[in-house]
């Protein structure tokens, strides 16, 4: 191949397809753009990885912290117990946050954090709240949740309890003005008063406490306003809701047009634990699922009247309902729902009025 035009002027030598150029004497070699891009890419990659790790730890801690571990009814509102797991921070420790929520408006009245394991709390008359947790007791005051007596203080006052309350066994129940405390070895005491005292419980007190159960939140038959509700025959895992006036012949029963997957009737309570009835015509709340696949299933809540008509349906998401309370004109639901553990519904329409975390 011959010389190209201009080769002689710029001093380039041409040999086939190879061109050897002469640099100016003053030129210095500059860093390659490929090297710069590689370095930049590594910086971005490392930064992104670090951000993902930090984000995962933050999300994990929040996710674990949102575990609703228990609920209780008190005369001042709904008490929620939430586990705060710090394992994402490397401590492997769990605290428990107690929140007292107004059942009508959803406002948080008080909050207390206990360095205890899964506290179970019972309200006594006079605004006392006894909490038992893995062999420990604590006395809190309602509605402030202020700790009145910690376990170290109670051990000094009640040495007989200190030897019997150990491990995760045992339980507490309210019996009148006192709380019945049962240890792992079967010994049982009635504890209460100010300052607290502990006396051995007799058989009658134990029987009374056993009969006092936490409010059930799900039933399979209900009687409301002179109407008896139950479920019809299974159709796979679905059933119709049946309504029958009390005293009428079974042939007068009305079946709902809709069927409900794994349905059950929600038991509604007042703050004093007595059964409550929603205003309006006789009706029931049916809790049912969208799917039998646990990963896909969402909880639905439907109000069904005595004619079998669905008045409204509310999607509760992937959470699990634990308690339903009717207070004033508000239906309050408590459970491990997404974006909040308690929500208030208009009982007439099912419209959500508020949602709050515990």
DSSP collapsed to 3 states, 43-90 = HHHHHHHHHHHHHHHHHHHHHHHCEEEEEEEECCEEEEEEEEECHHHC
pLDDT > 70? residue 9:
no
Contacts of 151 (CB under 8 A, 6+ apart): 136, 137, 138
Look at residue 104 in the predicted model and tell me its pLDDT: 93
Which of 234, 231, 206, 229 minimizes the C-alpha distance to 305?
229
Burial 88-124 (b: 16+ CB within 10 A, else e): beeeeebebbbbbbbbbbbeebbebebebeebbbbbb
Residue pLDDT, tens place only, 115-139 = 877 888 888 877 888 888 777 888 8
Q: Which pLDDT tens digit goes with each residue over 38-63?
A: 767 676 676 665 555 444 444 444 44
**Residue 276: CB partners within 8 Å, gap ≥ 6?**
268, 269, 270, 325, 326
Predicted TM-score (pTM) of this structure = 0.73
- Would the pLDDT of 94 be above 80? no
CB neighbour list of residue 209: distance below 8 Å, 6 or more residues apart: 173, 174, 175, 180
Which positions ≥6 away from 194 have C-beta within 8 Å?
Answer: none
Averaged pLDDT, 209-224 = 74
Listed ranges 12-21, 55-64, 107-116; the one with the highest mean pLDDT? 107-116
pLDDT at 60: 45
Q: pLDDT: is 96 or 203 the higher one?
A: 96
Does residue 60 have a cis peptide bond before it, meaning omega lies within 30 degrees of 0? no
**For range 307-313, the mean pLDDT:** 96
SS3 259: strand
Q: Which residue has the higher pLDDT, 201 or 343?
A: 343
Provide the pLDDT for residue 195: 78
Which is higher by pLDDT, 248 or 43? 248
């Amino acid at each position: 191949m011959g010389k190209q035009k201009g080769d002689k002027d710029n001093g380039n030598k041409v040999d086939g397809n190879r061109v050897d150029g002469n640099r100016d004497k003053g030129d210095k070699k500059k860093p390659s753009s490929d090297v710069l891009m590689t370095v930049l890419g590594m910086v971005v990659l490392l930064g992104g990885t670090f951000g993902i790790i930090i984000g995962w730890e933050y999300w994990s801690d929040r996710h674990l912290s949102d575990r609703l571990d228990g609920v209780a009814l008190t005369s001042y509102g709904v008490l929620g117990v939430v586990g705060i797991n710090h394992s994402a921070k490397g401590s492997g420790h769990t605290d428990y946050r107690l929140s007292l929520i107004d059942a009508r408006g959803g406002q948080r009245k008080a909050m207390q954090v206990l360095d205890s394991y899964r506290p179970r709390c019972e309200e006594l008359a006079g605004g006392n709240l006894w909490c038992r947790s893995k062999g420990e007791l604590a006395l809190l005051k309602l509605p402030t949740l202020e700790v009145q007596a910690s376990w170290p203080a109670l051990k000094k006052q009640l040495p007989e309890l200190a030897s019997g309350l150990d491990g995760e066994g045992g339980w507490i129940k309210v019996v009148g003005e006192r709380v019945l405390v049962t240890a792992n070895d079967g010994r049982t005491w009635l504890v209460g008063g100010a300052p607290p005292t502990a006396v051995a419980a007799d058989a009658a007190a134990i029987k009374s406490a056993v009969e006092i159960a936490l409010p059930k939140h799900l039933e399979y038959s209900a009687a409301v306003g002179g109407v008896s509700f139950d479920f019809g025959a299974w159709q796979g895992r679905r059933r119709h809701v049946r309504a029958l006036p009390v005293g009428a012949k079974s042939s007068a029963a009305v079946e709902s047009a809709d069927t409900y997957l794994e349905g059950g009737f929600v038991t509604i309570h007042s703050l004093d634990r007595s059964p409550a009835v929603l205003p309006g015509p006789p009706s029931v709340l049916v809790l049912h699922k969208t799917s039998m696949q646990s990963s896909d299933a969402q909880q639905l809540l439907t109000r069904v009247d005595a004619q079998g008509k669905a008045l409204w349906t509310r999607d509760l998401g992937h959470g699990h309902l634990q308690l339903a309370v009717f207070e004033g004109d508000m239906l309050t639901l408590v459970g491990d729902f997404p974006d909040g553990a308690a929500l208030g519904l208009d009982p007439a329409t099912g419209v959500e009025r508020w949602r709050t975390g515990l």
